[in-house]
A = this chain, B = another copy of it.
Amino acid sequence: MTPRADATRNRARVLDSAHAVFAEHGLGASTEQIARHAGVGVGTVFRHFPTKEALLSAVLAARLDALADEAETLAAQGESGDGLYRLMRSAVAASSLKTAFAEALQRAGVDVSDAVAPARGRLTNTVGTLLDQAQRAGTARTDIEVRQVFALLVAATHAVTYLDDDPLRERTLDLILSALRP
């Protein structure tokens, strides 16, 4: 493996580990924990991400990228009309950690809009495709626009956070998503 390929692989590994460690131990987890999880030295983590904010920002962008990848895979599977709902469930499930990242970065005064712009652009496009497929398959109302799908994602995310581990959580998520159905 070339040094550059090695560096790229290490960076991806650190990002995956950072996500896993933050998810398990919260945002207070140390660089040492992340390095150990990734099987690299602390120096490697700092070389790729000189500050905690740089690391959080990159993890957030990677998570949005993964969601955009999932959206594109669902859209490529075609016209079942179910992809929109599957993506929305994934987005809601991933949202609490993403919100924690975004809030920590905002408190640190870090503007992440540039870092997440590419993933966000892909997501907006692909959610448009998924909505289109659902509307043609008859699983979504035809008078809905993409902005409303994102508004319902925001809505569902906060409802689920509010209900925390209330047993009504899943039924309430179903209820909110059902608002999109004809």
A152 is an interface residue with CB less than 8 A from chain B: yes
Closest B-chain residue to A171, C-beta based? B148
CB contact under 8 A between A152 and B159, given known A176-B176, A179-B179 = yes
Residues A179 and B168 in contact, CB atoms below 8 Å apart? no
Residues of chain A from 154 to 170 with CB closer than 8 A to chain B in the complex: 154-159, 162-163, 166, 168
Complex copy number for this chain: 2
72-128 of chain A: CB within 8 A of chain B = none
Q: Is the interface of A mostly helix, strand, loop or mixed?
A: helix
Q: Could you tell me the distance between the alpha carbons of A163 and B156 in the complex, rounded to whole angstroms? A: 14
Interface assignment of A142: CB less than 8 Å from any CB of chain B: no
In this complex, what residue of B is CB-closest to A178? B179
Which residues in B have their C-beta under 8 angstroms from that of A151? Answer: 159, 162-163, 168, 172
CB distance from A96 to the nearest CB of B (A): 14
A-B contact list, 19 entries, CB within 8 Å: A143-B171, A144-B175, A147-B163, A147-B168, A148-B168, A148-B175, A150-B162, A151-B159, A151-B162, A152-B159, A152-B176, A154-B158, A154-B159, A154-B162, A155-B159, A158-B158, A175-B180, A178-B179, A179-B179
